[in-house]
Structures are given as C-alpha cells and as structure tokens.
Amino acid sequence: MKGAVLHGPRDVRYEDRAEPKIVRSTDAIIRMSATCVCGSDLWPYRGFNPAAEPSPMGHEYCGIVEEVGREVTSVKPGQFVIGSFFASDNSCPICKAGYQSSCQHAEFVGGAQAPLLRVPLADGTLVATPGAPSTDMIPSLLATSDVFGTGWFAADAANVKPGMTVAVVGDGAVGLLGALSAKRMGAERIIAMSRHEARQRLAREFGATDIVTERGEEGVARIKDLTNGIGADAVLECVGTQESMKQAIGSARKGGYVSYVGVPHGVQLEGQELFFAHVHLHGGPAPVRRFLPKLIDLVLNGKVDPGKVFDLALPLDQVAEGYRAMDERRAIKTLLQP
Ligand SMILES: [Zn+2]
Ligand SMILES: [Zn+2]
C-alpha cells in the first residue's frame, strides 16, 4: 500500500509502505474511510522536533474493521469504528479516572494517513457505531477521533458550565471546536480570538458571541474590556506557544480556569506570575476515549456538525497539498480520502 511519509521539513511523500499486520493478539486492522491532517502534524512538517528517519504520518482515523487479533472481543470485522490517537486499555486505574491518553499501557497510534491502520489494544481503544454511518456523517465522525475530542476536553478541563463567559485562544480546528463544545456545555458568552475572517465566521456558527482580533497583551486587554475588567471564567488555550499561554492565563479571572491542549513548544511559566494569576491550570493530551461515546452520539443524532472544520477534502495521494494548504493557512483542516 501507499501512505504519507515525512522525509524532512515540508517534504511529505505519498509512497510505498509495508501493509500493517496483526502484531499482538489485542490488535485490530482498520480499512480507513477517511483520515486527515492535524494541526500538530504541522510541527514536524515545519521542522520542529525533526525525526531522525522518514516517519509515517497521521493519527486521526475512522473506518471499517478488516481483521482482529484473537483476544479482541468488543469489535469485529465489518464494523465501523473510531478510535483516539492514543491506544488505551480503558481498564487501568488511569483510564478509569478518565485519562486514557495517559493509560498505563498507552501507545501512540501513528501512520493513519494510509488505507490501512493497525490499532493496538483494540478493545479499549475503538468505539463502534450502531450501524454503518452514511457518507455525509463521515467528516463529523472523523472529527471525534481527535479534533472534536480535543476541543471538548479543552472546554471540560476549563470547567465550562452554563452561564459562563469563555475565551478561546487559537482559531485552528481545535479552537473552533472548543467554541462549539463550550456552547454545548451552556456557556453564555464565548469570545473567540481570531484575526482570520473565514475562521471568525465558523467560530460564530459554532457559537462564538464575540471576536477579538488583538493578540498578546492587547488581546488580554480586550478580554478585560469585554468582561468589566474581570477576565473570562474559563479560557481554552488551543495553540501551544509562549504567547498563547500567556494570553490565556492573562485573560482568565482570578479563580478562573485555563485549559491547554495545544502541544507546547517553548512554553515556560514563571512562578511568581503563575502564583499571582490565581488560576486553575489543567491540560495535556486529550483523553479523547473518555468522550468518544458521547461525541459520536451527538454527531449521529445531528446535534453538532464538527466536520465543518474540514474546508478542504483531497484524495489521499494528494496528501502533500493537504499539508501545504494548512501550512499556508489556506485551509483550516484537510480531510483525506483513501
Ligand atoms: Zn491530531
Ligand atoms: Zn489504561
């Protein structure tokens, strides 16, 4: 088969790769219905933390079970399934506490930008839909695999509750779905920080009530202006840079919550500043598996349409263009069809 492989900065190739096989008796092999490019794929693509050797790309997936190992009991060939980018047993104490992405047996699921994918710990990782979903549901179901699950975690970790004022730092797909999630959780006011018109529109469609285009200290000042000098009850940091983290902490009210779900690159917190900010901080790799059943349900019942973040769909063999379009911010998120 062929799949996406990153060879170096801005060099993604669609090339021959070994077909995945069942390695352990708890594995499943999935035939991909759709996959996509993640904002976090752009870090290695842009040359941050470069890999020593060519690396298969992609970690967001949904598709039909092709084959299962002999110990797998909860899914079977022919079922449509979705899983998270971290395989988890969903039974250890960490999983039971709801942090499946830090499962004692967690394993990263990589190489999803391909027609076939091996998923370890299939019983704990994969969630099957009640039947085969219609084609038009696929983008939104794919979104639950990471980007919607991560946006949902951002809102959950920031303790969003009905009536709250929420600020979202970052207008990538995760930030936009953070706004959608906050809306579903009953936030009254949702301030999206974005300077990109198409993304502002989608943010509003997803539930944002206000848009702030300023960044950094000016952005913080705008949030304070909009909240009578108090700051937001909950702030979702969906980028992962020093500036975005500072902006998020600065935008929260005393005693408020800041979640952070963007993979941090060069973020350093200063003790005194943190001390006097008086905020709750909670984040990390989203335990998407905790939310999958609920999010799949919301999608299948037509309550949400997170697939709208895919504003570019390409055949998998044009994966290089999919990365370029996101890198140049011509696309919010690229869906890839094998
Ligand atoms: Zn991702
Ligand atoms: Zn576990």
The stretch 326-333 carries a mean pLDDT of: 95
Query: By C-alpha distance, which of 237, 233, 251, 246 is closest to 282?
Result: 237
pLDDT, tens only, 192-246: 999 999 999 999 999 999 999 999 999 999 999 999 999 999 999 999 999 999 9
Identity of the residue numbered 99? Y
* C-alpha of residue 236 to centroid of ligand 2, in Å: 26
Ligand nearest, relative to CA of residue 151: 1
pLDDT value, residue 78: 98
Ligand nearest, relative to CA of residue 59: 1
pLDDT value, residue 48: 86
* C-alpha of residue 97 to centroid of ligand 2, in Å: 9
pLDDT value, residue 248: 98
* C-alpha of residue 10 to centroid of ligand 1, in Å: 18
pLDDT, tens only, 107-162: 999 999 999 999 999 999 999 999 999 999 999 999 999 999 999 999 999 999 99
Query: By C-alpha distance, which of 199, 206, 196 is closest to 166?
Result: 206
Half-sphere CA count of 55, side-chain side, radius 13 A? 17
pLDDT value, residue 95: 98
What's the DSSP call for residue 130? S
Q: Which helix (H) or strand (E) holds 324?
A: helix 319-327
pLDDT, tens only, 16-53: 999 999 999 999 999 999 999 999 999 999 998 777 89
pLDDT value, residue 297: 98
* C-alpha of residue 255 to centroid of ligand 1, in Å: 30
> Quick check: 79 and 91 in contact, CB under 8 A?
no
Question: What gap in Å lies between CA 282 and CA 261, rounded to an integer?
Answer: 9
Taking the model in full, what pTM does it have? 0.97
Residues whose beta carbons lie less than 5 angstroms from ion ligand 2: 88-89, 92, 95, 103
Q: In this structure, how many other beta carbons lie within 10 angstroms of the beta carbon of residue 25?
A: 11
Ligand nearest, relative to CA of residue 110: 1
Question: What gap in Å lies between CA 73 and CA 92, rounded to an integer?
Answer: 18
* C-alpha of residue 84 to centroid of ligand 1, in Å: 9
pLDDT, tens only, 271-325: 999 999 999 999 999 999 999 999 999 999 999 999 999 999 999 999 999 999 9
Ligand nearest, relative to CA of residue 143: 1
176, pLDDT greater than 80: yes
| C-alpha pair distances (Å), 145 with each of 88, 142, 150, 174 | 14, 5, 9, 12
Ligand nearest, relative to CA of residue 95: 2
Identity of the residue numbered 67? E
Identity of the residue numbered 311? D
> Quick check: 120 and 26 in contact, CB under 8 A?
yes
